[in-house]
Amino acid sequence: MRRSSLLSAPLVTAALALTLTQDPGGTVAIQLTGAEAPPGGWRLVTRTIETRREGGRDYLAFVGEPDTVGMAWSPALAFADGEIEFDVRGRDIPGHSFVGIAFHVQDETTYDAVYLRPFNFRAADSARAAHSVQFVSAPEFPWDRLRTERTGWFEKAVPPALDPNGWIHVKVVSHGPWVDVFLDRSATPALSVVNPSPHRSGGVGYFVHGTSVGDFRDLVIRPYTGPAWRPR
């Protein structure tokens, strides 16, 4: 097990011979296998990270549970319009598991993010279940503001077959203001939103919120190849 620790500062975890190819729209194409770091390493915010191994595969584990946002992100992972795919594992612990991806990251306070609340996946209360996958845009549009002003628009339920303690494959597609979130390779988005913020480019990184740990692996970023536009 290999641990790296730094708060809100650059971190070089390994010198990897990875090639970043950036399309004219400003999005890199890159594949990070297992717990691989991007060129230049991760910038950590309020968490440490460890490389762990399970079933013959490496993954990146967030360590520490301060009650605030945590990230491992990189400005080298430039992202504008495109697709982000990764595997994530949270915990079925009420109020203590918020795991996902941050994109269009400018710094630790300015970013868009999509995250899961695994402890709500199978909630008997339909109101709780409807809070299972969430979009936020910091600093102007946190989850509580969006829930109050646009109830049900920026968070949804997920299929109850998803295991709240298991690995989940997530794909986020961002094109202009539109953001779609697909879970476990479904062809139907679990969440589709129009981004209320002006964020359209920045870095990418793994994301947790609140007193949450989380496990992450196999990050893939590619430029957008879908329709030039679509009505909402």
Residue with tokens 């430029």: 223
Distance CA 232, CA 107 (A): 30
Could you tell me the strand order of the sheet in which 99-107 lies? 9-10, 43-45, 70-79, 202-208, 99-107, 110-116, 133-138, 155-156
What pLDDT sits at residue 64? 87
| Distance, C-alpha 226 to centroid of its chain | 21
Helix H, strand E, coil C: the string for the chain is CEEEECCCEECCCCCCCCCCEECCCCCEEEEECCCCCCCCCCEEECCEEEEEEECCEEEEEEECCCCCCEEEEEEEEEECCEEEEEEEECCCCCCCCCEEEEEEEEECCEEEEEEECHHHCCCCCHHHHCCCEEEEEECCECHHHHHHHCCCCCEECCCCCCCCCCEEEEEEEEECCEEEEEECCCCCCCEEEECCCCCCCEEEEEEECCCCCEEEEEEEEEECCCCCCCCC
pLDDT of 229 higher than 70: no
Contact 65, 212 (CB under 8 A): yes
pLDDT of 190 higher than 70: yes
Residues of the chain with pLDDT > 70, as a percent, come to 87
What pLDDT sits at residue 21? 58
Q: Is the backbone peptide bond immediately before 227 cis, with ω within 30 degrees of 0?
A: no
pLDDT of 25 higher than 80: no
Contact 59, 33 (CB under 8 A): no
Give the pLDDT confidence of 69-123 residue by residue, as tens digits.
Answer: 999 999 999 999 999 999 999 999 999 999 999 999 999 999 999 999 999 999 9
Domains and CATH numbers, the chain: 25-223 (2.60.120.560)
Residues of the chain with pLDDT > 90, as a percent, come to 83
Give the pLDDT confidence of 46-65 residue by residue, as tens digits.
Answer: 999 999 999 999 999 999 88
Contact 110, 79 (CB under 8 A): no
